[in-house]
Amino acid sequence: MTDPRVPRRTFLTTAAATVAGATLGVSRLARAAEVSAPSVVRAARAASPSAVRLGIASYSLRKFPLDKSLEMMKTLRTPYVNLKSVHLPYEKSPQELAALRKQIEAAGFRIVGAGTITFSKDTDEDVQHYFEYCKAAGIPLITAMGPAVVMPRVEKFAKQYDIKVAIHNHGPEDKNFPSPYDVLKLVKTMDPRMGLCIDVGHTVRTGTDVVKAVLDAGPRLLDMHIKDLADPKAKESQVIVGEGAIPIPDLFRALDTIHYGGYVNLEYEIDADDPLPGMKQSFAYMRGVLAGLASAGTRTAAKGG
């Protein structure tokens, strides 16, 4: 059995070496993939044993306007962003949303999703409004919340607009979908565009094995919010990723096992007035984990060859 806990210092050291130009598995090619053209991203994914792509949930920067948030996100060295409505307001016109999309893309970012979006009313008018919003802004995926009764109507529009919907589990307090398995029960017979967004922190608070949940979700896993908790049962114990109890290395191994094609978006909910230092440390740890796993995979392949 693999050890789910990897010393933070070990992986931060690896991450620093990677930034300095060391060639540990993904090294320069993977780093370039996060800030370069789609062709480079594809090349990195082909070359690396891991297909995990790290992104940003803009809710992490909810106290900052869009312009400032874009400046802050540039320091995190990834082009992938899932946008919250505080940065891309629902009430904007289609023309305004298209202009905001151009602004975001001009800053070097790719919008990979929006949310969480709450579908609270089981009416065509309410549900379609959010799909029109995503269409205007060029958003390919909705990270969704809402009661199960609304989701068949959401499915109808997911097919019509060809936009994926990843239903987000919200832990013990969520009366609709506390665990990933509550989502999986609902979507198992639905269109493939209907799936799951695993929130790692909320998942472990339900007592669910998050690594097993990833493996069981398979192709229904469309999105992920990542965070870390010092106490797996306490929502208020969130810490910098790598300093808590969540088995990040085993989680990334599981994503690789299922050939996960989505994004692992950091949702950093603490230090709201000054989140950037903790976000940088979280990315450094996760990149160190990925570099270490890629290096181990390369050595294993060399042995086998």
Summarize pLDDT for 159-189 with one digit per residue, the tens.
999 999 999 999 999 999 999 999 999 999 9
Please name the amino acid found at residue 269: E
The tokens for 100 are: 């905001």
pLDDT digits (tens, 9 = 90+) for 114-126: 999 999 999 999 9
CA distances to 74, 164, 194, 216, 232 from 83, rounded to whole Å, are: 15, 15, 19, 27, 27
How many helices (H) does the chain have, and how many strands (E)? 12, 10
Helices (H), 122-242: 124-137, 151-161, 180-187, 200-205, 210-217
Judged by average pLDDT, the poorest of 40-44, 117-121, 242-246 is 40-44
What value does the mean pLDDT take over residues 61-70?
Answer: 98
Q: Is residue 42 part of a domain?
A: yes
Residue among 53, 41, 79 nearest 255 (CA): 53
Distance CA 214, CA 139 (A): 24
> Coil, strand or helix: which one is 118?
strand
Per cent of the chain over pLDDT 90 is 79
Report the number of distinct structural domains present in the chain.
Answer: 1
Instruction: Say which residue, 12 or 228, is predicted with more confidence.
Output: 228
What value does the mean pLDDT take over residues 145-155?
Answer: 97
12-37: b (≥16 Cβ within 10 Å) or e: bebbeebeeeeebbbbebbbebbeee
Strand partners of residue 166? 143, 195
Q: How many C-beta atoms lie closer than 10 Å to residue 38's C-beta?
A: 10
Q: Give the pLDDT band (50/70/90) at residue 63.
A: very high
Backbone angles phi, psi at 161, to 5 degrees: -95, -5
Q: Is residue 167 part of a domain?
A: yes
Q: Is residue 211 part of a domain?
A: yes
Asked if omega into 116 is within 30° of 0 (cis), the reply is yes
Q: Is residue 1 part of a domain?
A: no
Q: Is residue 301 part of a domain?
A: no
Predicted pLDDT at 212: 98
Distance CA 106, CA 149 (A): 39
Q: Is residue 164 part of a domain?
A: yes
What range defines the domain where residue 245 resides?
8-18+25-294
Helices (H), the chain: 8-20, 27-33, 38-47, 66-74, 94-106, 124-137, 151-161, 180-187, 200-205, 210-217, 248-257, 276-304
- pTM for this one? 0.83
- Contact present, 247 and 214 (Cβ < 8 Å): no
Q: Is residue 3 part of a domain?
A: no
Backbone angles phi, psi at 5, to 5 degrees: -105, 125
* Mean of per-residue pLDDT scores for the chain: 86
Distance CA 124, CA 283 (A): 40
- Residue 15 pLDDT greater than 60, yes or no: no
- Residue 133 pLDDT greater than 80, yes or no: yes
Instruction: Say which residue, 26 or 97, is predicted with more confidence.
Output: 97
Distance CA 62, CA 106 (A): 21
Backbone φ/ψ region at 271: left (φ over 0), alpha (ψ -120 to 50), beta: left
Predicted pLDDT at 51: 66
Predicted pLDDT at 296: 81
DSSP code, position 175 = S
Write the CATH number for 235. 3.20.20.150
Residue among 151, 155, 247 nearest 255 (CA): 247
Q: Is residue 229 part of a domain?
A: yes
